[in-house]
Chains A and B, each alone.
Chain A
Amino acid sequence: MEDYKKTISELIRKHMVVLGPNIALAVARKIPALKLADNGDALEIAGDPKAALAAVADAYITFAGEISVMLLGSVTGEYHGH
């Protein structure tokens, strides 16, 4: 669970830098299973954390497209094996 929280937090923080904090947080906050801090940290995940990560990734890719795929690649690369 903690690994997923870290991965989701990292993904959100990277999007906050690239897209801007307001937009990046607004997109992630649409995931009901997630409770987020203003700095992008994933505080709580309700239910399946894997599904929550997939939902965040989907939301970003739907919104920003290719750039989010790049960011997702860099984050999943960093947390490869978890």
Chain B
Amino acid sequence: MCAVTIAGAVFLFGDSGPVVIVGVLGLAVLSALTLWLLRQNDAQIDRILAAHKEMASTLQSRDARLNQKAYQSAISKEISDRISSSPDVSETLEIIAGSLGAILDYSAVSYMVLEKNGTILFKCHLEIAVNAAFMESVKRAMLDALKLVHDASFKEEDIKTAHFGAMLDESAKEPMRSFFNVPMLVDGALVGMVNVASVKPDAYGEADAGILYGVVAQAGVMTTKIKHLIAEETNKVNAMLASISEGLIMIGHEEKVVIVNKRAKEILDIVKQDGEVLLLDVIQALYGKFDFRGFADQVLQSNKMEIFPELLLQKTFFKVIATPVRDRTGHTIGVVFVFSDITKEKEVDKMKSEFISITSHQLRTPLSSMKWFLEMLVNGDLGAMTEKQASVVLDIYNSNERIIMLVNDLLDVSRMESGKVVLEPTPTNLADFIKSMLPEVNQNFVKRKQTFEFVKPDTLPRIAIDPKLIWQALANLLTNASKYTPEGGKIKLRLALDAKNILIEVSDNGFGIPEFQKNRIFEKFFRADNTAKQEGTGLGLYIVKEIIEASGGIIWFESMEGKGTTFSFTLPLEGSKPNKIV
């Protein structure tokens, strides 16, 4: 410690500063010094407070910017998700208007959409109760803006108005005191507008509006891009559709014709080059020939492809294939109809049938003569032959039998296709009838050492069927079962009864049908790959199907390669329709 005397005052200094002051002048100096020190402290505190304030403000504005960015990305994502497959301005503006509460205070948020038909959709969401004059001011402010940009006026009757949120309340006297509009442009054209309005004066600054401008501009760009992408894809599809030779019509939601290509218009004789083709146009064009709407309903109900085999339009035959159209989620969104010209196919088919018919008839007579003479030779009626000669003649006889079988099948097909076979139903006890006919096929099972089982209910009602044709079908199935089952295999014939039908099942544990060929099994001349070693014409199952369907029944099968096959068909208890031509 040391002592210093200044103007009568004694200052005693220790290690940490003055500690003792003596005298009046010293007291005055001390007071002044204290005041100076306090002021210095205040200034320092002020500086610290200011720094804190600045930092808080910086943090606050950074938070605000982050919030705005988070809002912008959230809203952009929602818009992108919602309009990615169909750019809808109304939906976009609805999303934006519905989200504004997160960033702005307002009394009302509204949007207008300029619709394709020239009308304007005006939707206003009231956050607080306001009077009708307030809402009218909002509408007017938006219409003035639209008029200015479009340089056109809009009639009141062209504006569809709707308001949501708080009720209109005439006792609320607050007028609209501040607002701003945010126009939305798509592809360089004004398509809509958002309005934010408040009962408070000067409620919105440039920064508030700036956020919304950013969001709406981004939505506009997004919508434009999606619109261009869709237009590009549509052009590609249209070019493709215009170039195909099939007529194509697709109907979508609310029975709207979504796609109709040039060929379809030609087929249906719809002369509407630029106009929109309506469902009614299609129905009218097909009236009395094809129930277009009914067929579409049928496809929607079954949710699977349906085929209308033959439709005659303007001297041309078409096959119509209708298929359900599904979206990404598997939900059915429409039906597409393909009209394929089958006139040439039919002509070729007809020529083929005629050729087969003529040839078969021509072949039948000499084949029958050969059969008789060969039978005489085999039976020794024309004298004895050596063993070798007898063996050769037997081979010739068997080959002749196979040719006769083929010719008979061909004649059957030919008769069916030309409508020359008449179905003559007579009341029949099916079980007894089948039992009486079984010896005809039983020799096949015996020859191949196969087990045959016939299962039937104790009683079956008599039904009207054409027994000759039904036996032809059943014998074919039983012969096939034996032919395509290895020696020692099992064949089973089962009859059963349900409320409306008699069910007939022929099952075997034979070769089965290859999976990839199952859809062709009833086609003419089709033979599965795993049956090539067995003799056959490929006509049997075609004939069977024709007979069963003509008798009012249905036929189907279940098969697993290497395990066996079950062919099933029904015959209606009400009987086959008489005089039906097969």
On A, residues with C-beta under 8 Å from B are 14, 17-20, 22-23, 26-27, 63-67, 70-71, 74
Give chain B interface residues in 202-242, CB to chain A under 8 Å.
202, 204-206, 209-210, 213, 217, 220
Q: Which residue from A17, A23, A67 sits with its C-beta under 8 Å from B204?
A: A23
Given known A17-B144, A22-B202, A23-B209, contact A67–B179 (CB-CB < 8 A) = no
Nearest opposing residue in chain B for A68, CB measure: B183
B contact residues around A66 at 8 Å (CB): 185, 188, 217, 220
Query: How close is A70's CB to chain B, nearest CB, in angstroms?
Result: 6
Interface SS majority for chain A: helix
A contact residues around B321 at 8 Å (CB): none
B contact residues around A27 at 8 Å (CB): 206
Contact B206 A23 (CB under 8 A): yes
Nearest opposing residue in chain A for B141, CB measure: A20
Docked complex Cα distance between A81 and B217 (Å): 32
Chain A CB within 10 Å, residue with most, of B182, B206, B213: B206
B contact residues around A19 at 8 Å (CB): 145, 180-182, 209
Name 14 A/B residue pairs within 8 A (Cβ), A-sorted.
A14-B148, A17-B145, A18-B148, A18-B183, A19-B182, A20-B179, A22-B205, A23-B204, A23-B205, A64-B183, A65-B217, A66-B217, A70-B190, A71-B149
**Count, chain B residues at interface, CB 8 A:** 24
Query: How close is A28's CB to chain B, nearest CB, in angstroms?
Result: 11
Contact pattern, B 551-565, Cβ under 8 Å of A = 1, otherwise 0: 000000000000000
Q: How many A-B residue pairs have CB under 8 A?
A: 56
Contact A18 B145 (CB under 8 A): yes
Given known A18-B145, A18-B148, contact A26–B205 (CB-CB < 8 A) = yes
Nearest opposing residue in chain A for B178, CB measure: A22
Docked complex Cα distance between A74 and B148 (Å): 10
B contact residues around A14 at 8 Å (CB): 148
Query: How close is B210's CB to chain A, nearest CB, in angstroms?
Result: 7
B contact residues around A17 at 8 Å (CB): 144-145, 148
Contact A67 B144 (CB under 8 A): no
**Further 8 A-B residue pairs, CB within 8 A, beyond A19-B181, A67-B190:** A14-B148, A17-B145, A20-B204, A22-B178, A65-B185, A65-B217, A67-B185, A71-B148
Nearest opposing residue in chain A for B205, CB measure: A26
